[in-house]
Amino acid sequence: MIDAGELRTRTRALLEAHPPATTDRADFLKARFDAGLAWVHYPEGLGGLGAPRSLQAVVDAELEAAGAPDNDPRRIGIGLGMAAPTVLGFGTEEQKQRFLRPLWTGEEVWCQLFSEPGAGSDLAALGTRAVRDAESGDWVVNGQKVWTSSAHTARWAILIARTDPDLPKHRGITYFVCDMTDPGVEVRPLRQITGEAEFNEVFLTDVRVPDAHRLGEVGEGWKVAQTTLMNERVSIGGMRIPREGGMIGPVAKAWRDRPELRTHDLHQRLLKLWVDAEVARLTGERLRQQLVAGQPGPEGSGMKLGFARLNQEISGLEVELLGEEGLLYDDWTMRRPELVDFVGREAGYRYLRSKGNSIEGGTSEVLLNIVAERVLGLPAEPRTDKDVAWKDLAR
């Protein structure tokens, strides 16, 4: 097994062969991938060395100290966090070779074609159809997806579609990789309450997906999607955040810098939220330490719930703290940002954007059910849709 010293040696060799100061950014990233230092826990030949995941920090620290470029993980978050583990887990050797390198270097951005207007929390109810063309063997996809971040910049999408409507809803689904440049793919900006169009609607009309772009078996798409969704929810909590590193930071700063805004009521509320934010940060840190020690705990299931509520309460307090200024908004012009950014811009934006935190990536209500059933082992609610064919469900 490769240890920290070995990784340090390899990282230094990479830096020597490709000095960051004189190497093109894209070339450096490709060389890093080929050296197995992209994600060290991935297999050799796919950007990794089969090393323990916790040792990535060793590589990252060396590279950061040397001023090496990174692959801008925020811009390619869906690819890194969701598409990559799914391709790694269920893809053929050919698919892994084709997709993972440009995904990691950021040459190819990914998006996620999961949610639909009629299938949000009840994702397995989705209605986008994929029908096999008997002649070519291709799949022909028709339907509409929604709430799709990065669709306007994406080269590829992970897509789930219904391939057998006669089966119960969890069973007739298949998982694909969809080419976003296909002429049947139409991306329309979906303007949100912030004024921005960070998300999109995606209309799929006779989109041809070759069978070689199927991930996993026909009809096994729900199982594959579980990997994607699990990775979506645990991606939070893996980072080390300093005290006041989240949304509480700007509020605390405003409180210190502008004593004229202070009231006793706001003081009480601010202190309570400061405590909640600091404790949530410690819980995230504890989860991180567990992961590093190779003992992942169930805490991750609750982290997103906690952060959603906290972000909403803190940003709400911030708007109120600003008083007259809180009545203003920086800019309602429609923009199409490339990054998902909860904290950027100003208080009004933070307040409005944080409303999505308890909806995106699983609503808080659904996550509470998941905690209750999977962590606490409480009995499931009686299900009326479990054994009914998808086509016979009420819609």
Partner 1 sequence: MSDLLYSEEEEALRRAVRDLLADRCDAATVLARAEAPAAEGPHDRELWKALTEGMGLAGLLVPEELGGQGATHREAAVVLEELGRAVAPVPYLTSAVVATEALLACGGSEAAELLSALAAGRTVGALAVGLATAPGAPFQDVRHDAGALHGELTGIADAAGADILLVPADDGALYAVHTAQDGVTVTPRTSLDLTRPLAAVTFEAAAARELTRGADAAVRRGLRAGAALLASEQLGIAEWCLTETVRYTKERHQFNRPVGSFQALKHRLAELWLEVVNTRAAARNAADALAADSTDADVAAALAQAYAAPVAVHAAEEALQLHGGIGMTWEHPVHLYLKRAKADSIAYGTAGRHREALAELVDLQAP
Task: Give the binding site for partner 1 (CB under 8 A).
Answer: 240, 252, 255-256, 259, 262-264, 267-268, 270-272, 274-276, 278-280, 282-283, 285-286, 289-290, 293, 295, 299, 302, 305-306, 365, 368-369, 371-373, 375-382
Q: In terms of residues, how long is the chain?
A: 395
Select 169 or 304, whichever has its Cβ closest to partner 1.
304
Q: Which of 231, 219, 212, 235 is nearest to 97 (CA)?
A: 212
Contact 114, 78 (CB under 8 A): no
Angstrom distance (rounded) from CA 116 to CA 112 = 11
Nearer to partner 1, 217 or 365 (CB): 365
Q: Alpha helices, DSSP H only, in the chain? A: 4-17, 25-34, 56-65, 77-78, 84-90, 93-105, 221-234, 248-257, 264-292, 300-321, 347-354, 364-370
Catalytic residue annotation? 232
Please say whether the beta carbons of 178 and 83 come within 8 A: no
Contact 54, 294 (CB under 8 A): yes
* Token code pair at residue 129: 């159809």
The nearest distance, CB 116 to partner 1, in angstroms, is 24
* Strands 173-179 and 110-113, bridge-based pairing: unpaired
C-alpha span between 228 and 223 (Å, rounded): 9
Q: Decide whether 77 or 302 has the Cβ nearer to partner 1.
A: 302
User: CB 380 → partner 1: shortest distance, Å?
Assistant: 7
Q: What's the N-to-C CA distance of the chain in angstroms?
A: 53
Q: What six digits make up the tokens of 272?
A: 């309570």
CB 374 within 8 A of CB 297: no
Q: How far is CA 311 from CA 192, 276, 340, in A?
A: 18, 11, 15
Residue type at 8 in one-letter notation: R
Judged by CB, which is closer to partner 1: 218, or 370?
Answer: 370
Which of these, 204, 68, 228, 64, lies nearest to 140 by C-alpha position? Answer: 204
- Minimum Å gap between C-beta 381 and partner 1 is 6
- Geometric angle at alpha carbon 266, from 263 and 272, rounded to 5°: 140
Pick the closer one to partner 1 by CB: 16 or 324. 324
